[in-house]
Amino acid sequence: MPTLTIRNIPEHVIRSLKSLAARNARSMEQEVREILEENAIDRISALEQIEKSWKRQTRRPKPAEIDRWIRSGRE
């Protein structure tokens, strides 16, 4: 299995990961693996759903429209 090294993680993030791992009765390393896997799978699933949705559309959204949607979701 490949190894991933991540440097310069802020101390508060490490504390949060340790706390989360303890609550889930896992090592911090296992907790990080779970977070990465869960989020990577969610992203792949979301992208697949978007592609399926686009196939049903009569036209694709323009970049400016997408930017507006993203901004409106952050307000």
Q: What average pLDDT score do residues 38-51 get?
A: 81
The rounded percent of the chain whose pLDDT value lies above 70 is: 97
Q: What is the pLDDT of residue 44?
A: 79
Determine the Cα–Cα distance for residues 74 and 41; give it in Å rounded to an integer. Answer: 23
Handedness of CA 51, 56, 62, 68 (dihedral sign): negative
Determine the Cα–Cα distance for residues 46 and 64; give it in Å rounded to an integer. Answer: 21
Q: What is the pLDDT of residue 74?
A: 67
Give the lowest-confidence range in 6-10, 12-16, 38-42.
38-42
